[in-house]
Amino acid sequence: MATKKVLIADDNQQIRLLVGAALRSLDVEVIQAVEGEAALELTIAEKPDLVLLDVNMPKLDGFEVLRFLRKQPELVNVKVVMLTTSAQNTDLKHGADLGCDDYVTKPFETKVLRELVERLLAE
């Protein structure tokens, strides 16, 4: 089986490092973006299997990125997990309405995140 690609899109370097470390034991290639526009460009160019997407990022927020991804036929099957501190019910509903596959709030347990990524990549 080919190595799966996971894009970590978060403007916080510590979060990107923590998530990358959490996924190290999985057979995945990790790519990173530090803001929304870069996340969008990398998703279009690299076609990752899964995007871990922060809501609060510069240039484009995570919801804007997700909205665009779900309108692109060639990217519609990319799994998207919102990974964010934006955890109000309105945020959860907005993410679900836009088509995210799951929603993880920060702070998160690395084991739980790793298991979720593993499950989504196996689907």
Global pTM reads 0.94
Contact present, 50 and 7 (Cβ < 8 Å): yes
Sign of CA dihedral 88, 89, 90, 92: positive
Q: What is the pLDDT of residues 16-53, one digit of tens each?
A: 999 999 999 898 999 999 999 999 999 999 999 999 99
User: Nearest CA to 48 among 25, 23, 27, 28?
Assistant: 28
Whole-number Å distance between alpha carbons of 10 and 101: 17
- In the chain, where are the structural domains located? 4-122
- Within 13 Å of residue 20, how many CA atoms lie on the same side as its CB? 15
The CATH number for 4-122, chosen from 3.40.50.720, 2.102.10.10, 3.40.50.2300, 3.30.420.40, is 3.40.50.2300
Q: What is the pLDDT of residues 74-84, one digit of tens each?
A: 998 999 999 98
**pLDDT for res 2:** 63
